[in-house]
Amino acid sequence: MRIHRWSFGISPINWVNEDDHSIGDHYTFEQLLDDFAKLGFSGTEMCRKFPRDPIELKRRLKEKGLQLTSQWKGVIFSDPALREQELAAYREHVAFLHQMGASHVVTCEIGGSPHADPRRAPGAAQVERLSGEQWRYVAEGLEQAGRICREYGMKLVYHYHAGTVVEGGEEIDRLMSMTDPGLVHLLYDTGHAYYGGSDPLELLKKHADRIAYVHLKDVRGEVLERVRAERIPFVESVKKGVFTVPGDGSIDFGPIFQELDRRGYEGWMIIEAEQDPLIADPYCYAEQAIAYIRGLTAGLPSEEAS
């Protein structure tokens, strides 16, 4: 799917959640691909429902006119004792994505995250913040991972994320200032920017030169207010419906698309909405998002929307 100058993909997480396996577990690989193809998308990210064999997966995606655009990779570079094994696993991950024809590696430091760090005790609620020394370890590890990506002609795109050590604007700024722009690029996620307390448009303007990949999702402001007031953990906030598709929440996407167009961004746009599919039908919400985005981009100056 091409809208304006951009290729659009859809994230399977709209159907099948990766953190809470009880959400959307009834969907099959075949159902996901059928929906993505019927909706007209040209790309998708990796999902736990997809086959792991790259030859089979590439064939099945090609049959539906789909390209695998990336796959999430959580890393724990904040602990130098784990560096060697983390980089070995990262190289294996990059090799798989390269074989699939992907150009970007979605990467996130999960050390200290209550929902993503496997070393944390069950029921942990708060993020364990980085020390100054750990910040240096993270930056060094990401640059090493970025060099691996570069060997394969790919880009590491860092995904700031709710419930992790890089969530708010100051943390994003710090990470960008500590890392080589040629090795560590930025995944611009509208929903996680808003969730983390940043103005998505201002964040875009500040770090436009680092952005190499985009996730488009919206936030229900009234749900986020409750999440903050009651200190609801990230995974639970998803269940309560904090995220939705563009046009259904509190983010004004008009200026965001205008700025991306003005800056000449030409990479992937991936529509996301981490919702319970039994409450919010993902196919219908994806259709709604497409219509909203087409309406917003039709008047952009650089070229006609298609």
Q: What is the mean pLDDT of residues 126-135?
A: 96
Question: What CATH number does the domain located at 72-187 have?
Answer: 3.20.20.150
Question: What CATH number does the domain located at 1-68+217-306 have?
Answer: 3.20.20.150
Q: What is the mean pLDDT of residues 139-164?
A: 98
Q: What is the pLDDT of residue 306?
A: 41
Interval 36-74: pLDDT, tens: 999 999 999 999 999 999 999 999 999 999 999 999 999
User: pLDDT at residue 185 above 90?
Assistant: yes
Q: What is the pLDDT of residue 305?
A: 39
Q: What is the mean pLDDT of residues 244-268?
A: 97
Per the listing, tokens 């995944």 go with: 187
Q: What is the pLDDT of residue 282?
A: 97
Q: For residue 172, how many other CB atoms are within 10 A of its CB?
A: 22
CATH 3.20.20.150 in the chain is located at: 1-68+217-306, 72-187
Helix axes 253-262, 200-207, angle to 10 degrees: 10
Q: What is the pLDDT of residue 206?
A: 98
DSSP-assigned letters across all residues of 93-123: HHHHHHHTT--EEEEEE-TT-TTT-TTSPTT
Q: What is the pLDDT of residue 299?
A: 82
Residue pair 18/72 in contact (Cβ under 8 Å)? The answer is yes
Token readout for 231 is 């200190």
Q: What is the pLDDT of residue 302?
A: 62
Alpha-carbon distances of 160 from 135, 165, 207, rounded to whole Å? 14, 8, 13
Token readout for 30 is 């075949």
DSSP E strand boundaries for the chain: 2-3, 6-10, 43-44, 67-68, 72-75, 104-109, 155-159, 184-189, 211-216, 218-219, 243-244, 268-271
Of 27 and 299, the one with more pLDDT: 27
Residue pair 168/203 in contact (Cβ under 8 Å)? The answer is no
Per the listing, tokens 């103005």 go with: 199
Interval 191-244: pLDDT, tens: 999 999 999 999 999 999 999 999 999 999 999 999 999 999 999 999 999 999
| Pairing of the two strands 268-271 and 211-216 | parallel
